Chains A and B, each alone.
Chain A
Amino acid sequence: MVGLEHYLILAAVLFAIGLYGALAKRNAIIILMSIELMLNAVNIAMVAFSRYIVPLQLTGQIFAIFVMVVAAAEVAVGLAIIIAIYRHHKTIDATKIDLMKW
């Protein structure tokens, strides 16, 4: 029987994979995708909590929808900035974008 804890474990694993990708991948677009993965992990947790803890309300589902909307906006801005980065740095390798340090 699949219970709340399974969903939460799935969410935690997805979140961890996303965090790993965001910290370890070099391509800025993949980093952005990894962050999306983290947000989706949160969505799973939200919906699962909502379904099991307060089944009569839709709080978690609504939260998830808002998160998706905001994430879409974030990705739009993110892609635009990555394009601008490519124009100036001729690369989207996150480890090579270090003009400013110390």
Chain B
Amino acid sequence: MPYQLVWLIFLLPLFSFIIIALFLRPFLKSQPKTAGYITIAALTGSLGLSVWALMEVMATGQPLPVPDITWAVVDGLTIHLGLLMDQLTAVMLIVVTVVSLMVQIYSQGYMKGDAGYHRYFAFMSLFTASMLGLVLADNLLFVYVFWEMVGLCSYLLIGFWFHRPSAANAAKKAFIVTRLGDFGFLAAILLIFFNTGTLDITQLHSLAATGALAGTTLTWAAIGIFAGAAGKSAQFPLHTWLPDAMEGPTPVSALIHAATMVAAGVFLVARTFPLFSHSTEAVTTVAVVGGFTAIFAATMGLVMTDIKRVLAYSTISQLGYMMLGLGVGGIAIGIFHLFNHAFFKALLFLGAGSVSHATGTFDMRKMGGLRKIMPWTYATFLIASLSIAGIWPLAGFWSKDEILASALENQPVLFILAMITVFMTAFYMFRVVFMTFGGSYRGGDPEAHGKPHESPPVMVMPMVVLAILAVVSGLWNVTGDFGAFMGHGETHSFTEGFFGILTHSLPWISLMLAGLGILLAYAIYSARWLSAESIGGMFQPLYNLFLHKYWLDELYEKVFVGRVLLKGFFAGLQGFDVYGVDGAVNGIASGAMATGRAIRKAHSGQLQLYGLFIGIGIIVIVACVYFFG
């Protein structure tokens, strides 16, 4: 097939957006379902083409030569509209199209009957098109254009239920916070352009490799790019928008705020990785910020009671892992985790959506006992949780151990943080599992519709598909195939195969930590009552009963006090998050407003005062010219 077809991967969802926005919405309002069907059809096409493109790239081992067109000529600089269809892009295309397609199918059920059904699918199509454009773009200017486009779509979709003020505020916050990082990106683009005269990614790679772009310029450019990536990928300290972004519809969270857009930051760093790898400072920054974010976000995930917020902090933490992987290992290691994470995290969000569809709430304290009522949701959610906890042989295990191994090699301190995070991840995920699915049903939302029930097949089917992927996607690198494909022959890969990996000690340690986390969650959230009863039944003597009681009380108190303390500590951390970081952002905004209110008083409506300003202005300029000229 001709390589021009690669263009269609990006154009199909774009057409879908145009058709829905310009034709379906005005003319076929009575049949909302068509919007969903068109989106799904377009994405199926994109997925097919992406698979084909991946096969071609695998077969040739080279970027596909996709013909490009000239876009604009700025003062001697020709900007081509071109696509870079290399290994990285091929992998990203699969991630975006698969997750997007599954989410669209799921949305058919989740968004059923919503007044904004057309609008929803129009935005989703536009988002997918922009995201595909972002991964396909062959120069930084276009990456930036699509970068802003996905941000805009995210803004529109977070605020989708705009009648909730919290949704509208969250949308605004997401937009403003990510733009803080975007300065850095834009500044880096300008810096690169004026030092090299090109924004073409392939050329930049070779410039960095040959040393034509080096020194502080390179470092600052890389740090600027990383600032943009940190904003998009919610890395500390620009992470605060992501938990709030959960106000959007859950499938949106699954697609944009778990699998694709937030991963765009990781992708960007990978895309421009040669700029990082030739600057020790830059690559260390990436690793440190990533490692710190991973553990920092995980601690907050421990205390949340809103299921989506737990998942949001988990996403931030996992994105931190990816950054750490890029920083200590390289493209293949970071992107491999991105690849696996996309599937299981999207699945977790779809599961959370399914649960709330049934119970009408996201508050885990009102759930419980859904294992029997929603067996499919439970099974898939459990698989995803095991995968993210890094249990052999699920997908998360393979990519996480690669990152840990590289961290051990290069950054021992970060390795320890990452190991603690492994434990926490397992704990908070299984806390969610036990609170949501274990025990007995605690009523859900009092105003919700009747009894909880399993979601319709149209929602279950995508979850099953993603669950299968969450099991098998990690197998790609069992013998190092993924690393070889990405062309970065990683030195620290475990390539001994399916069982061979278990001959090393590191996987065992991480497995044990994860198992410990699960066990603790089990002890606290599921087995506590069970064990109390059985122990009570086993020990008949009064003495033993007292002792037992005493022991239970002590345990109880320990757990309680421990939990309160823990809660206090982590709530404090979260408070810093809300009042410190947010406060700074809000402070700048309100400071600007206050300044504005003060200065506008000068516009008193008195025209002679205005004239006086002209006079004073002239005097000041003349004085400056004479004293400094």
- Are chains A and B touching directly in their complex (CB below 8 angstroms)? yes
A19 in the interface (beta carbon within 8 A): yes
Q: Which residues from chain B contact A24 at a C-beta distance below 8 Å?
A: 608
Stretch of B60-68, B231-239, B596-604 that contacts chain A: B596-604
**In the bound complex, do residue A102 and residue B606 qualify as a contact, i.e. CB atoms below 8 Å apart?**
no
Known contacts A19-B615, A23-B615: does B608 contact A95 (CB below 8 Å)?
yes
A101 to B, closest residue via Cβ: B605
**In the bound complex, do residue B608 and residue A23 qualify as a contact, i.e. CB atoms below 8 Å apart?**
yes
CA distance A95 to B608 in the complex (A): 8
Contact pattern, A 65-102, Cβ under 8 Å of B = 1, otherwise 0 = 00000000000000000000000000000110111111
Q: How far is the CB of B548 from chain A (nearest CB, A)?
A: 74
B1 in the interface (beta carbon within 8 A): no
Q: Which residues from chain B contact A99 at a C-beta distance below 8 Å?
A: 605
B211 in the interface (beta carbon within 8 A): no
A22 in the interface (beta carbon within 8 A): yes
**In the bound complex, do residue A102 and residue B608 qualify as a contact, i.e. CB atoms below 8 Å apart?**
no
Q: How far is the CB of B603 from chain A (nearest CB, A)?
A: 5
Q: Pick the contact of A23 from B600, B603, B611 — CB < 8 Å?
A: B611
**In the bound complex, do residue A98 and residue B605 qualify as a contact, i.e. CB atoms below 8 Å apart?**
yes
CA distance A13 to B612 in the complex (A): 18
B608 to A, closest residue via Cβ: A23
B22 in the interface (beta carbon within 8 A): no
B600 to A, closest residue via Cβ: A102
**In the bound complex, do residue B605 and residue A22 qualify as a contact, i.e. CB atoms below 8 Å apart?**
no
**In the bound complex, do residue A94 and residue B615 qualify as a contact, i.e. CB atoms below 8 Å apart?**
no
**In the bound complex, do residue A98 and residue B608 qualify as a contact, i.e. CB atoms below 8 Å apart?**
no
B607 in the interface (beta carbon within 8 A): yes
CA distance A24 to B600 in the complex (A): 22
Size of the A side of the interface (Cβ < 8 Å), in residues, is 13
Contact pattern, B 587-629, Cβ under 8 Å of A = 1, otherwise 0 = 0000000000000110111111001100100000000000000
Q: Pick the contact of A102 from B601, B607, B615 — CB < 8 Å?
A: B601
What is the predominant secondary structure among interface residues of chain B facing chain A?
Answer: helix
B602 to A, closest residue via Cβ: A102
Q: Most chain-B CB neighbours within 10 Å: which of A24, A94, A101? A: A101
Known contacts A19-B615, A23-B615, A102-B600: does B605 contact A94 (CB below 8 Å)?
no
Q: Which residues from chain B contact A23 at a C-beta distance below 8 Å?
A: 608, 611-612, 615
A35 to B, closest residue via Cβ: B611
Q: Pick the contact of B604 from A19, A22, A31, A101 — CB < 8 Å?
A: A101
A97 to B, closest residue via Cβ: B607
A19 to B, closest residue via Cβ: B615
CA distance A101 to B602 in the complex (A): 9
**In the bound complex, do residue B606 and residue A98 qualify as a contact, i.e. CB atoms below 8 Å apart?**
yes
Q: Which residues from chain A contact B608 at a C-beta distance below 8 Å?
A: 22-24, 31, 94-95
CA distance A100 to B610 in the complex (A): 13
CA distance A100 to B603 in the complex (A): 9
Known contacts A19-B615, A23-B612, A23-B615: does B604 contact A94 (CB below 8 Å)?
no
A26 to B, closest residue via Cβ: B608
**In the bound complex, do residue A100 and residue B605 qualify as a contact, i.e. CB atoms below 8 Å apart?**
yes
CA distance A94 to B601 in the complex (A): 18
Q: Which residues from chain A contact B600 at a C-beta distance below 8 Å?
A: 102
CA distance A100 to B608 in the complex (A): 14
Within 8 A of B (CB), among A6-60: 19, 22-24, 31
CA distance A101 to B615 in the complex (A): 20
**In the bound complex, do residue A98 and residue B604 qualify as a contact, i.e. CB atoms below 8 Å apart?**
yes
Q: Which residues from chain A contact B601 at a C-beta distance below 8 Å?
A: 102
Q: Which residues from chain B contact A101 at a C-beta distance below 8 Å?
A: 603-606
B611 to A, closest residue via Cβ: A23
CA distance A19 to B600 in the complex (A): 25
Q: Which residues from chain B contact A100 at a C-beta distance below 8 Å?
A: 605
CA distance A101 to B605 in the complex (A): 4
CA distance A7 to B600 in the complex (A): 41
CA distance A101 to B599 in the complex (A): 12
Query: Could you give 7 example pairs across A and B, Cβ below 8 Å?
Result: A19-B615, A95-B608, A97-B605, A98-B605, A99-B605, A101-B606, A102-B604
Enumerate chain B interface residues (CB-CB to A < 8 A): 600-601, 603-608, 611-612, 615
Pairs A-B, 7 closest by C-beta atoms = A98-B605, A101-B605, A102-B600, A23-B611, A23-B608, A101-B604, A102-B603
Enumerate chain A interface residues (CB-CB to B < 8 A): 19, 22-24, 31, 94-95, 97-102
